[in-house]
Structure 1
Amino acid sequence: MSSRQRGSALLTTSRRALLERRIRWIVAATIAYNIVEAVIALTAGRIASSTALVAFGLDSVVEVLSAAAVAWQFASPEPHHRERTAMRLIAFSFFGLAAFVAVDAVRTLIGAAQPDHSPVGIALAAVSLVVMPLLSWYERRTGHELGSASAVADSKQTLMCSFLSAVLLVGLLLNGALGWSWADPVAALVIAGFALREGAEAWRGDACHAREHDSPTP
């Protein structure tokens, strides 16, 4: 191997190490933000009997689990060996969220509880609508450069949180301003639908990864 080829290989290795380190930092920031977000959303949701806020808080918990799965993957010297497990954890976390939120939303729609106005929830949704797209874009870009399916899947989950922030904000505003109590559980059902779709995509990504891993090299 020539000195130029060795330099190119060294640069590639150095770049990969930099990208993996960046992923770890992004994941740490995502976990920290989502822990705060989950505590505020779940507390405010229980106080206001808001299914949408509780669903949003649970989504934050799922995002923490998803980011933790990616952090666990990249804590290994060979993170690609943990890719499939990380993808399955992300998929199952989405499915669990969708099931729980759907049941709770239906209970609210049939009159089990009437959500109250929540200024704290509105403020939280507005802040998340700004923060989460930035984190998602940075992780997705890094994940594509690194060729990591789990990092890209986790970035999609973070981006989903920004969509859910918008859905939550609309639901809370309609409930607070117009007294449309049905808007809150409907917003929660939209969140459940998003979670189900993202879980299916993560599962398909795991299947694709498994086929690539199991296929014989030519």
Structure 2
Amino acid sequence: MDKRWNIATGLALFTVLYNIGEGIVSLYFGAHDEALTLAGFGVDSFIEVISGLGILAMIARLRRFGDKNRGSFERLALRITGICFYVLVAGLVAGAMFSIWKQQKPETTIARIVVSLLSIAIMRGLAWWKIRIGEELNSASIIADAKCTMVCVYMSVVMLASSVLFEVLHLPYIDAIGMMGLAWFSFKEGQESFEKAKGAVTCCGHC
């Protein structure tokens, strides 16, 4: 098999392992510090895990069966990812409403700032490498996974901005605003996953 597929496998494996760690850390400190935005970010990390596992499964199928039934497999994987994003949107919106109702403030934003800075630095480079490999292999699914990784970067920027604003202004609603920002990016990614599943922007069967 093309050596570039081995690189794609390594990138997907790194995505899975890194996001498992990031998700656990984010959920722990999100609960400990009552930082709902960080907790929501942690859930998104596990959606990244699903996306990475999908790429690993696709490559394993290619090694064993070639392109046989690849299109239907990719569409199913995209639909599952899309559903996960929509569930995340519902949870983030509900959490934001709860935060506003309770006027909840995070105890500290240190963990959010550290996690978001690490994610911006690591995920941006990872997304660039995935896009490059995806284009070389003419693989829409790898490019889609790269875009999912870039959404993680955008969400990290939103979380970082809301954290800095909270440190400056100490307003109770900033955490809720940050969650709504994460919800917007999650909704767009879920919508794009279903569009790709319909075959609008995929190259299923030959990529």
- Fold shared, TM-score > 0.5 on shorter chain: yes
Paired letter, 1:160: V
Contact 1:45 1:52 in 2 (8 A): yes
Instruction: In structure 1, list runs of 5 or more residues that go unmatched.
Output: 1-13
- Please list, as runs of the form range in 1=range in 2, the aligned pairs for 1:94-109 lying within 5 A after superposition: 94-109=85-100
- C-alpha RMSD over aligned residues: 2.0
- Please list, as runs of the form range in 1=range in 2, the aligned pairs for 1:61-80 lying within 5 A after superposition: 61-77=46-62, 78=66, 80=70
Q: CA deviation at 1:114?
A: 2.7
Out of 36, 54, 60, the residue aligned to residue 51 of structure 1 is 36
Counterpart CA distance in 2 for 1:165 and 1:213 is: 31
Counterpart CA distance in 2 for 1:86 and 1:211 is: 12
- Please list, as runs of the form range in 1=range in 2, the aligned pairs for 1:16-95 lying within 5 A after superposition: 17-77=2-62, 78=66, 80-81=70-71, 82-95=73-86
Out of 101, 104, 116, the residue aligned to residue 125 of structure 1 is 116
Percent identity, please: 27
Q: Report the number of matched residues.
A: 199
Q: CA deviation at 1:112?
A: 6.2
Out of 131, 145, 149, the residue aligned to residue 136 of structure 2 is 145
Tell which structure's C-alpha radius of gyration is larger: 1
CA spacing shift, 1:116–1:208, aligned 2, 3 Å: same
Contact 2:26 2:39 in 1 (8 A): yes
Out of 175, 199, 203, the residue aligned to residue 208 of structure 1 is 199
Q: CA deviation at 1:209?
A: 6.0
Contact 2:196 2:202 in 1 (8 A): no
Q: CA deviation at 1:211?
A: 9.2
Counterpart CA distance in 2 for 1:145 and 1:99 is: 36
Counterpart CA distance in 2 for 1:202 and 1:122 is: 29
Counterpart CA distance in 2 for 1:124 and 1:39 is: 11
Q: Which has the higher contact order (CA 8 A, sep 6+)?
A: 2
CA spacing shift, 1:166–1:210, aligned 2, 3 Å: closer
TM, length-normalised to structure 1: 0.84
Q: CA deviation at 1:104?
A: 0.9
Contact 1:95 1:195 in 2 (8 A): yes
Instruction: In structure 2, list runs of 5 or more residues that go unmatched.
Output: none
Counterpart CA distance in 2 for 1:58 and 1:206 is: 22
Paired letter, 1:180: L
1:162 matched to 2:153? The reply is yes
Partner SS state of residue 147, structure 1:
coil
